[in-house]
Amino acid sequence: MTTVTSPLAGRAIGLAAVPDPVFSGAMVGPGTAIDPVREPSEAVSPVDGVVVSLHPHAFVVVDAAGHGVLTHLGIDTVQLNGEGFELLVNKGDTVQRGQAVVRWNPALVEEAGKSPVCPVVALEAAADSLGEVREDGDIKAGETLFSWQ
């Protein structure tokens, strides 16, 4: 079983509350979402693994079990063309849970007219393969978001 931890501090809100139908409808996969604190911060890896996809606004880490976890920093943030985001690792790097991957500022994302809400998704997972999914309450980076069978 894989434990997926929060890449950010904020408030767990669940995927249904994400202002994007692709995520709220779990079309990318099941998971949850974080409404982040509005201060400059580092998004950290939610699992130990390899960075297989890396963009300023989103990254995927695949763990030893082959589970890919997507962290998407805000909604429609691809339109910011990387402005306000700083990559701290490279695609192909092996990372540890809690290791900083991207530095960003959710307040600047919001000022640019985008939602800073961050979906954390179990890619290609069956909805019933996740357990103990956090969908409410304050959460710190590194606290458990969900388990994945």
**Which class for 31: exposed (0-12), middle (13-18), buried (19 or more C-beta within 10 A)?**
buried
User: What integer best gives the mean pLDDT of the chain?
Assistant: 96
State the pLDDT at residue 38: 96
CATH number of the structural domain spanning residue 83: 2.70.70.10
30 falls within a domain: yes
77 falls within a domain: yes
Percent of the chain with pLDDT over 90: 97
Distant-in-sequence, close-in-space partners of 129: CB < 8 Å, separation ≥ 6: 30, 122, 148, 149
Domain hosting residue 25, numbered range: 2-139
Of 55, 57, 67, 72, the catalytic one is 72
148 falls within a domain: no
pTM of the model: 0.97
101 falls within a domain: yes
**Which class for 125: exposed (0-12), middle (13-18), buried (19 or more C-beta within 10 A)?**
buried
- The total of structural domains in the chain comes to 1
146 falls within a domain: no
Find out whether 118 and 72 touch, Cβ atoms under 8 Å: yes
102 falls within a domain: yes
105 falls within a domain: yes
Q: pLDDT, tens digit, for every residue of 34-80? A: 999 999 999 999 999 999 999 999 999 999 999 999 999 999 999 99
Per the listing, tokens 């998004």 go with 43
3-state helix, strand, coil in the chain (%, to 5): 15, 40, 45
Q: pLDDT, tens digit, for every residue of 101-147? A: 999 999 999 999 999 999 999 999 998 999 999 999 999 999 999 99
149 falls within a domain: no
Told to judge if 67 belongs to the known catalytic residues of this protein, a careful annotator would answer: no
State the pLDDT at residue 27: 94
